[in-house]
Amino acid sequence: MSKIHLMDEVLANKIAAGEVVEKCMNVVKELVENSIDAESTEITIKLIESGIKQIEVIDDGIGMDREDAKLAFERHATSKLRSLDDLFYIESLGFRGEALPSIASVSNVRLKTSNGEVGTLVTINGGKDLKVESSDLQKGTSITVSDLFYNTPVRLKYLKNPYVELAHIVEYVNKMALSYPNIKFTLINNDKILLKTDGNGDLLKVIYEIYGVDITKKMIPVEGENDDYYIHGYISYPEVTKSNRNSITTLVNGRVIKNNELNKCIVDCYHTYIHKDRYPVIILNIDVDPILVDINIHPTKMDIKFSKIDSLKDLIIDVFTDRLENINLIPEISVRDIESVKEVKNKITTPVKEEVIEEPKYEEIKLNFEVQEEKKKIEEEIKEQVPFEMEEEKTSRIKKMIPKGVVFLTYIIAENEDGMYLIDQHAAAERINFEKIMKEMKEKPIIIDLLVPIKIELRKDEFILAKERLDMLKEYGIDIEEFGENTVVVRSHPSWIPEDKAEEIIRKIVDIMVEKGKLDFDQFIWRMAATTACRMSVMAGDYISKEDTEWILENIRYCENPFTCPHGRPTIITYTKYELEKMFKRILD
């Protein structure tokens, strides 16, 4: 007797559902994508108990006739592919023909659709008992999915709690609304509206509906193209960050995707602008010839392969870097009130521009913070800690600031005609030192021979990695070699490492060098420079004189990136004159 037999159709669909439908969000995703492919201009998603009890997706698309409505529940039935060649030029969101039969096999489904000529009602329970009836002629499609996984209790057991399921759905619908600002999206859970866009095509207004006024005001438009790709969208100021990568929305030809290599490239563009554990808010549309991408990687169709990804990464780096380098990134401390929120909402249909406010007439009050006389324990050393002579031909990115004092032995207070500034003395000095070191590393270093070599003992596994990577340090003037078992010795170092802190800094650099895993050379050089800059800079809590503050304020102006330290912390924030007057009620809106 033969052991091999054809699998039952319902069983095959349930197996396919294991890949296509893992949670409620997957059902919403498949149904919404079908609505978009159906040329809908309005899509409503209604949930009961976060979709666990019921999911209903209603659209005003082209609808289906009776035969198509019945055939839609057959496995591999699709209107998007006709031949093998079509697989290499996919422009629709759906194409596999697995979603509806997979969903129907693990739930109760009710489909009501009309193409304007005939109305059809189809019901199917657990992939069985297909019933077809006549319905009204209202053009569009409505699909209701009830009791998800009712016939697969193991899968039902492992659904997350309603709050987690709802969070996944909201995140996905938000991304689709950002991808299709010309479609009106409405998301409702238990009769409560969670998202409502007007579908007027204004991406910035969708950003406002999702992220609110504060983030919307801090978004920067980006656009660029090369021979292979066209990118456009919005990126956030470095001061606007989130704790995870979910804030990065990447869309390829309107499809929401997840690509770790692309996300890493985007985050790297913010290198030194934001902390390493924070992520910017990004909405990036990527338009590309479908022949250059492969979306047939996974049944969820969220993974994607690019045939020319280096070309795309170069374009993103060029566009993002140019925008971040040519705008003022000093965070403004603003006063929010109801009127300012309404003002932004009213203006949101036009691109966000730097607001020009006509300053009111007022009696100027000078802020005069006197530095308390303290023991000048490092006054003479400060010039050595920040030994960066800027080139005269460089142009400044910040207007000249006049120091007025220091508070908490950490924050320099300064002013100019635009407002008041708070400068973190350590972060500013660290940025100046970092750029000095990076500049000197590109040149032939001056080597300092040590009278007493620095000996560093390592664990066996660390020593093995160190031996492999010694040349990385030698290339930049650190003469390091093996010295007995599990030990290395440093005999000289470049002049950009201060002698009094040489051992501390070199030990830290060696620690970075022997970290396990793949060591990116460029990242290592950056970390080596950042570590050295941090150790040699004036610290928070150190006393600095007025002359020292003037020197720091003058030098930070000419840095390539004066707005953050190498680790992404802000160096400077500002209160504008307008905001100060508003806080003290000297002017009223």
Q: How far apart are CA 428 and CA 440, in angstroms?
A: 19
Count Cα neighbours of 94 within 13 Å in the Cβ-side half-sphere.
Answer: 23
Strands 419-424 and 279-280, sheet pairing: unpaired
Domain extent listing, the chain: 9-196, 212-325, 447-536
Count of CB atoms situated within 10 Å of the CB of 76: 10
Q: How far apart are CA 146 and CA 130, in angstroms?
A: 15
Count Cα neighbours of 341 within 13 Å in the Cβ-side half-sphere.
Answer: 9
Which DSSP category does 219 fall into? E
Q: How far apart are CA 262 and CA 249, in angstroms?
A: 11
The phi, psi pair for 537, rounded to 5°, reads: -95, 155
Q: Which CATH number fits domain 212-325: 3.30.1490.20, 3.30.230.10, 3.40.50.720, 3.90.1300.10?
A: 3.30.230.10
Strands 402-407 and 411-416, sheet pairing: antiparallel
The phi, psi pair for 455, rounded to 5°, reads: -100, 130
Exposed, middle or buried: residue 368 (CB in 10 Å: 0-12, 13-18, 19+)? Answer: exposed
pLDDT value of residue 589: 60
User: CB–CB of 235/285 below 8 Å?
Assistant: no
Structure-token pair, residue 232: 């456009």
Distance set, CA 529 to CA 157, 273, 386, 512, 552 (Å): 51, 15, 14, 11, 19
**Torsion from C-alpha of 23, 24, 28, 31, nearest 10 degrees:** 70
List the beta bridge partners of residue 122. 111, 132
Helix (H, G, I), strand (E, B) or coil at 60: coil
User: CB–CB of 412/564 below 8 Å?
Assistant: no
Alpha-helix residue ranges (DSSP H) falling in 459-559: 460-474, 502-513, 521-536, 546-556
Q: Which of 84-90's residues contact partners 24+ apart within 8 Å by CB, and which partners?
A: 87/296, 88/290, 88/291, 89/290, 89/291, 90/290, 90/295, 90/296
pLDDT value of residue 86: 46
Q: How far apart are CA 209 and CA 211, in angstroms?
A: 6
Q: Which of 177, 144, 183 is nearest to 58 (CA)?
A: 144
Q: How far apart are CA 172 and CA 22, in angstroms?
A: 14
- The strand ranges marked E within 214-330 are 219-225, 229-236, 241-242, 248-252, 255-257, 279-280, 282-288, 293-294, 305-306
- The strand ranges marked E within 115-183 are 119-125, 128-134, 140-146
pLDDT value of residue 343: 53
- Sign of the C-alpha dihedral computed for residues 488, 489, 492 and 496 taken in this order: positive
**CATH class of the region 447-536:** alpha beta
Distance set, CA 563 to CA 220, 228, 274, 531, 573 (Å): 16, 33, 10, 18, 9
Q: How much is the pTM?
A: 0.66
Count Cα neighbours of 554 within 13 Å in the Cβ-side half-sphere.
Answer: 13
CATH topology of domain 9-196: Heat Shock Protein 90 (3.30.565)
Q: How far apart are CA 330 and CA 353, in angstroms?
A: 16
* pLDDT (tens place) for every residue of the chain, 589 residues total: 555 555 555 545 444 444 457 788 889 998 998 899 888 999 999 999 999 899 999 999 989 888 888 887 776 555 444 444 444 445 556 445 567 888 888 889 999 999 888 999 999 987 777 888 888 888 999 999 998 887 777 667 667 678 888 988 998 999 999 989 999 999 999 999 999 999 999 999 999 998 888 889 889 999 999 998 999 999 999 888 888 888 899 998 888 888 888 888 999 899 888 887 788 999 999 998 888 887 655 555 556 777 888 999 999 999 999 998 888 777 766 555 545 545 555 555 444 444 343 443 333 333 333 433 443 443 444 444 444 444 445 678 888 999 999 999 999 999 998 889 999 999 999 999 999 988 888 777 788 888 888 888 887 877 887 887 888 888 888 888 888 888 889 999 888 888 888 888 888 888 887 775 556 677 778 888 888 898 889 999 899 988 899 999 999 999 989 999 998 889 999 988 888 888 888 877 6
Structure-token pair, residue 86: 């079509």
Q: Which amino acid is at 312?
A: L
pLDDT value of residue 397: 83
DSSP assignment of 439-464 equals: HHHHSPPPEEEEEEEEEEE--HHHHH
Q: How far apart are CA 207 and CA 221, in angstroms?
A: 12
Distance from the first to the final alpha carbon of the chain: 88
pLDDT value of residue 84: 43
Count of CB atoms situated within 10 Å of the CB of 517: 6
HEC assignment per residue over 323-370 = HHHCCCCCCECCCCCHHHHHHHHHHCCCCCCCCCCCCCCCCCCCCCCC
Strands 255-257 and 279-280, sheet pairing: unpaired
